[in-house]
Amino acid sequence: MNMKFVLQNIIYVILETTGIFIYLLSSLSVRIYALFDSASHQQSKSDPKEGQQRSPCPFLNALCNDKHLPVSGSGVSMTCLLRACKKTTGINYLANILLLSSINFSFHGRINLSAKNVTFNIGDLGGASGHLSTEYDASLTRADYHDGCNSAFNHSLFNSLVKQANNGRLHFKDIAKVVRNRLLRSKTNNKHHVFGYFQKYNMWLMITLLLICFGDGKSITLNSLEQLFIDEKLPQSTTHDRNLSLYDIESTRMNIMYDSGELNIEPGKLLQDITSPWTLYFSKNVKK
């Protein structure tokens, strides 16, 4: 094996992990604000019972509904949340820590979620509901803030996604088509539209996590989509016995972007260029 290539890949992983960590701590608050904005959330099918709390995030709600988190939605610790995410998604603890680290931004940094015996209620996770970017989840089920409630489940958007399915499955190229059409409409109709490289990173990260955690990495069944977004239950096909790393997630994301026509350079070539990790987000390699 070429030692230079091995060293380049090691450096790539270090740079990419460091970059993701900095990015998560500095800018994912926008995504998490939308993710946990509870000011105007409307439930889909799984309305909470009296005394229960739920958030706009279907995954968090599913963890509560399936008893991986307290059914009440209150008294949740980061340790409990990390354990639940690892068990239900197969993403390793380091990657989960980085992906979940931005939850504290929803509290504006007022509490230390890493401190011993500190808990939170998922219904209290709220932030800047008025941000003006296209929403955190690749706009699969939430409206732009400009167009309506950016935290409530939107049946119309979900149905437009379902219509692209073939033989009961939704492929990443189908999702990419829906997302492109959505972005075009937003750019045309929303005078406050903001969608740069960070938003694009968020968008494809959310698509990747959806497909990796609840699909086969390239597609997802309609049944799984309905279970997660409408019933707010974990899809029955969820695989638990995996140990996915940040590298697994990022390499999958880059391959999906390339195969969807969003990258101008093959991911394999990016991996061989130690100068490439951050230019991926800020250079001509990502299509505007």
Per residue in 227-278, pLDDT tens?
A: 999 999 999 765 567 788 888 888 888 888 888 888 777 776 655 554 444 4
pTM of the model: 0.74
Query: What letter does residue 49 receive in the DSSP assignment?
Result: P
pLDDT tens per residue, range 28-42? 333 333 333 333 344
Which amino acid type is present at position 4?
Answer: K
Assign 282 a pLDDT band (cuts: 50, 70, 90). Answer: very low
d(CA 23, CA 30) in angstroms, rounded, equals 11
Q: Which structural domains are found in the chain, ordered by start?
A: 3-282 (1.10.489.10)
Task: Give rounded-to-5 percent helix, strand, coil for the chain.
Answer: 50, 5, 45
DSSP conformation class of 239:
-
**Tell me: the pLDDT tens digits for 6-15?**
555 555 455 4
Q: Which one, of 129, 139, 132, lies nearest residue 206 by Cα?
A: 139
Whether the predicted pLDDT of 155 surpasses 60: yes
Question: Which pLDDT does position 241 carry in this prediction?
Answer: 73
Neighbours of 49 (CB within 10 A): 8
Which pLDDT does position 20 carry in this prediction?
47
Lowest mean pLDDT among 83-97, 128-142, 184-198, 239-253: 128-142
Q: What's the distance, Cα to Cα, between the start and end of the chain in Å? A: 36
Q: How far is CA 104 from the centre of its chain?
A: 16
Q: Which residue has the tokens 């060293």?
A: 7
Residue 221: which H helix or E strand, with range?
Answer: strand 219-221
Nearest to 272 by CA among 4, 20, 18, 1: 4
